[in-house]
Amino acid sequence: LINATLDFWLTAGEYAKKFENKLANYLGVRNSLLSNSGSSANLLALSALTSEKLGKQKLISGDEIITVAAGFPTTINPIFQNNLTPVFVDINLNNLNVEIDKIKKAFTKKTKGIMLAHTLGNPFRADLFKNFCKENSIFLIEDTCDAFGASIGVEGKAKLAGNFGDFATLSFYPAHHITTGEGGAVITSNKKLRRVAASVRD
C-alpha cells in the first residue's frame, strides 16, 4: 500500500496485475479481472454476454435469466439493466439456496442463462447447475461475492466456488472475506469472455 502510494500510480497497474494473477491461481481459473465493486462485477459479467463477439450465443432483449427471488438487488439489477427478463425461483429453507429441480421447472425455450449468488457464503450445487447449463447451451454466472474460498464437493474432490460458471464474481468490500476497501472481480476460464468483459469495463 505504501509503495503504491509513493509510486503515485492511482489506477490499475503493477499491483493490480499481481493481485489478478494470484487471485486466478488461488481459485483455479485462467483469468481474473478487477473492477471497482462486486456490484459492477455482476454488471460486467452479464453485460459481456450481450456482446456481438458471441455471435448467435449472445443474449438479446427479452431473453430469460433464472435468478433467486430472495437475493441481493445487485444480482438482479444487471438483468434489468441489460433489458433481459428475470425469472424468479424460490430458495429451499433448509440451505437457503435454489435447488436444481426448481431451475428445471422454471426453464423455457426463452431461458438463456442462470445468475445466482451463493447465499451468505453457503454454496449452491454449482456442479449440477453447470451440467444443466451445458446440456441446454445456456450461461451460468456464479455470484461468489459472499463465498470466496467456499468449496463444493464434486465426485469426492472439492472445487472452489467460482470454478463452475462461465463467469463468477467477487466483492472486496470490507464486509467480505478479503478487502481492497472497495473493489471486486470478474473471473472466468474463457479467454473470449475475459476479453469482452475487459472491453466493457475499460
Give the pLDDT of residue 71. Answer: 84
Dihedral sign of CA atoms 25, 121, 103, 57 in order? negative
pLDDT higher than threshold 80 for residue 119: yes
pLDDT higher than threshold 90 for residue 165: yes
3-state class of 119 per DSSP? Answer: helix
Number of H helices, E strands in the chain: 7, 9
Residues 62-88: tens digit of each pLDDT: 999 999 998 889 999 999 999 999 999
- Alpha carbons 69 and 98: distance in angstroms, whole number: 9
Give the pLDDT of residue 70. Answer: 84
- Alpha carbons 131 and 99: distance in angstroms, whole number: 13
pLDDT higher than threshold 80 for residue 155: no
Q: Give me the percent of the chain exceeding a pLDDT of 90.
A: 82
Q: Which residue has cell 472481480?
A: 185
Taking the mean position of all CA atoms in its chain, how far away is CA 197? 12
CB atoms within 10 A of CB 191: 10
Q: Give me the percent of the chain exceeding a pLDDT of 70.
A: 100
Q: Which residues participate in catalysis according to the annotation?
A: 176
Mean pLDDT of 107-119: 96
Query: What 8-state DSSP symbol labels residue 90?
Result: P
Taking the mean position of all CA atoms in its chain, how far away is CA 68? 14
Mean pLDDT of 112-119: 96
- Alpha carbons 99 and 96: distance in angstroms, whole number: 9
- The answer to whether residues 16 and 1 touch, using CB atoms and an 8 Å cutoff, is no
